[in-house]
Structure 1
Amino acid sequence: MRYDYLYRYYDKFTTGGFRRMMDEGFNCRNNHYHYAATYTGPGHTHIYTGSAPALSGIVGNDFYDRNLGRLLYCTEDTTVSTVGGTGPAGKMSPRTMLVTTITDQLKLATEGRAKVVGVALKDRGAILPAGHAANGAYWFDSKDGNWITSTFYMQELPKWVNDFNKRRLPEQFMAQKWEFSRPLNQYTASTTDDQPYEAPLPGESKAVFPHEFIATTGGLRYEVLRATPYGDVLSKEFALAAIKGEQLGADNVTDFLALSFSSPDYIGHAFGTHAIETEDNYLRLDRQLADLFAQLDATIGKGNYLAFLSADHGVADVPGFSQVYRIPANVKPYGVVGEVAKAALEKAFGSGNWILAYMNQQVYLNHSLLAEKKIAMGDAYETVKRALLNQPGVINVINFHQVTAQALPEVQMEMMRNVFHPNRSGDFYVMFQSGWFEGRNKGTTHGTTYAYDTHVPLLFYGWGIKHGQTVRRTKIADIAPTLAALLGILEPSGTIGNPIEEVVN
Structure 2
Amino acid sequence: MQPTRRIALVAALAAALLSACASPTAGTDPSAAGPAGKPKLLVFLVVDGLPQRQVLAYRDQLQPDGFARFLERGAWFSQAHYSHAFTVTAAGHALMLTGASPERTGIIGNEWRDPATGREVYNTGDTSATYIGHKTRALDGTSPKNLKVETVGDVLRRADPRSVVIGISGKDRGAILPAGKTGTAYMYMSDDGTFASSTYYMKQHPAWVNEFNAAKPADRFFKQFWRPMLAEDAYARSIPDEQPWFATRDARLPMMMGVPQDDAPGPAFYSALLRGPYGDALDLEFALAAVEGEKLGRDDAPDILSVSLSGHDYVNHAFSAESRLSHDHFLQLDRLLQGFFRDLDTRVGKDNWVAVLTADHGFMPAPEYSKTKGIDAGKINSAQALARINAGLAQKFGEGKWVMGYSAASLLLDKPLIAQKGVDLDAVAEEARRLLLLEPGFETAYTRKELLSGSRAGARYFEASRKSWHPDVSGEVQFTLKANYMFNSSSASTHGSPHEYDTHVPLLVYGPKWVRPGRIDTKVEVTDIAPTLAHLLGVPAPAGSQGKLLPLTAP
TM-score (norm 2): 0.86
**Contact 1:115/1:256 (<8 A) preserved:** yes
For residues 425 and 216 of structure 2, what CA distance do their matches in structure 1 show? Answer: 56
Output the CA distance in 2 between the equivalents of 1:503 and 1:93: 38
Amino acid in structure 2 at the alignment position of 1:257 = L
What is the deviation of 1:406?
A: 3.2
What is the percent sequence identity of the aligned residues?
35
Find the counterpart in structure 2 of residue 248 from structure 1: 296
Which of 218, 234, 258 is 1:170 aligned to?
218
* Cα distance in 1 between the residues matched to 2:553 and 2:284: 26
User: Taking structure 1 as reference, are residues 372 and 442 closer, same or farther at Cα in structure 2, changes over 3 Å only?
Assistant: closer
CA distance in 1, matches of 2:393, 2:123: 29
Contact kept in structure 2, 1:123 and 1:139, CA below 8 Å: yes
- CA separation of 1:353/1:409 partners in 2, compared to 1, >3 Å: closer, same or farther? closer
Does residue 1:453 correspond to 2:499, yes or no? no
> How far is the alpha carbon of 1:498 from its aligned partner?
0.9
1:22 Cα deviation from its structure 2 partner: 1.3
- SS of the aligned residue for 1:457 comes to strand
**Structure 1 position 153 matched with structure 2 position 196:** no
Q: Could you tell me how far apart the structure 1 residues matched to 2:519 and 2:188 are?
A: 35
Q: Does 1:101 align with 2:151?
A: yes
Contact 2:86 2:496 in 1 (8 A): yes
For 2:362 and 2:245, locate their aligned partners in 1 and report how far apart those are by CA, in whole Å.
Answer: 19
> How far 1:385 moved relative to its partner?
2.9
Deviation at 1:354, TM superposition (A): 1.6
The structure-2 alpha-carbon separation of the partners of 1:84 and 1:197, relative to structure 1 and needing over 3 Å to count, comes to: same
**2:89, 2:499 → 1: CA distance?**
16
Q: Which deviates more, 207-216 or 292-301?
A: 207-216
Structure-2 residue corresponding to 1:264: 312
Correspondent of 1:51 among 75, 78, 100: 100
Q: CA deviation at 1:442?
A: 5.2
2:268 maps to 1:188:
no
1:137 to 185, 197, 210: 185
Question: What secondary structure sits across from 2:505 in the alignment?
Answer: coil
Structure-1 separation of matches of 2:146 and 2:491: 33
Structure 1 residues 448, 407: CA separation in 2 closer, same or farther (over 3 Å shift)? same
**Distance between the aligned counterparts of 2:554 and 2:145, measured in 1?**
31
Q: How does 1:367-382 map to 2 (within 5 A)?
A: 367-382=415-430
| Cross-structure match for 1:424 | 473
Secondary structure of the 1:494 match is coil
Q: Is the 8 A contact 1:482 1:504 kept in 2?
A: no
Count the aligned residue pairs: 498
Q: How far apart, in 2, do the equivalents of 1:489 and 1:337 lie?
A: 49
1:345 is matched with 393
Q: Give the Cα–Cα distance (whole angstroms) in 2 for the partners of residues 186 and 219 of structure 1.
A: 34
Query: Which structure 1 residue ranges, 5 or more long, are not aligned?
Result: none
CA distance in 2, matches of 1:364, 1:169: 44
Query: What secondary structure does 2:552 align onto?
Result: helix
| 1:36 and 2:85 are equivalent in the alignment | yes
Q: Give the distance between the partners of 2:471 and 2:104, measured in 1 at CA.
A: 10
The residue identity in structure 1 corresponding to 2:361 is: H
1:160 CA drift (Å):
1.0
User: By how many angstroms is 1:356 displaced?
Assistant: 2.5
Greater RCO (Cα-Cα under 8 Å, separation 6 or more): 2
Provide closer, same or farther for how the CA distance between residues 442 and 155 of structure 1 changes in structure 2, counting only shifts above 3 A: closer
Q: Which whole-Å CA distance do the structure 1 matches of 2:362 and 2:388 have between them?
A: 29
Counterpart in the other structure of 1:211: 255
State the shift of 1:78 in Å: 0.5
Partner of 1:494: 544
Q: CA deviation at 1:55?
A: 1.3
- 2:522 pairs, out of 458, 472, 487, with 472
- 1:438 & 1:179 partners in 2: Cα distance? 32
Greater CA deviation, 230-239 or 392-401? Answer: 392-401
Pairwise CA distance, 1:482: 0.7
Residue equivalent to 1:336: 384
Shift in Å at residue 503 of structure 1?
5.9
Residues in 2 aligned to 1:211 and 1:221: alpha-carbon distance in whole angstroms:
13
Q: Which moved more, 1:342-351 or 1:61-70?
A: 61-70
Distance 2:429 2:462 in 1: 18
Taking the TM superposition and a 5 Å limit, the aligned residue runs for 1:305-316 are 305-316=353-364
Whether the aligned pair in 1 keeps the contact of 2:81 and 2:526 (CA below 8 Å) is yes
Q: 1:192 and 1:287 mapped to 2: Cα distance?
A: 22
Supply the AA of the counterpart residue of 1:341: I
Structure 1 pair 399–503 and aligned structure 2 pair: CA distance change class (3 A):
farther
Query: What letter corresponds to residue 363 of structure 2 in structure 1?
Result: V
Greater shift in the superposed pair: 276-285 or 191-200: 191-200
* Superposed CA offset, 1:178-199 (max 9, x none): 2222211111321222311212
CA distance in 2, matches of 1:304, 1:181: 32
The Cα of 1:109 is off from its aligned counterpart by 1.4
Residues 301-331 of structure 1, C-alpha deviations (whole Å, 9 max, x = no match): 1121111011010110001111111111111
Relative to the length of structure 1, the TM-score reads 0.94
Matching residue of 1:16: 65
CA distance in 2: counterparts of 1:337 and 1:31, whole angstroms:
34
1:28-67 superposed Cα distances (whole Å, 9 cap, x missing partner)? 1111112122011111010010001111110001011225
Paired AA for residue 207 in structure 1: A
The reply to whether residue 397 of structure 1 matches residue 441 of structure 2 is no
Q: What secondary structure, in the 3-state scheme, does the structure 1 residue paired with 2:351 have?
A: coil
Moved more, 387-396 or 260-269: 387-396
Give the equivalent residue in structure 2 for 1:25. Answer: 74
Deviates more, 1:336-345 or 1:294-303: 336-345
Q: Matches of 1:11 and 1:153 in 2, distance apart?
A: 43
Q: Does 1:361 align with 2:385?
A: no
For residue 215 of structure 2, what is the amino acid of its counterpart? R
Which of 319, 324, 331 does residue 283 from structure 1 map onto? 331
Give the conservation status (yes or no) of the 8 Å contact 1:93–1:152: yes
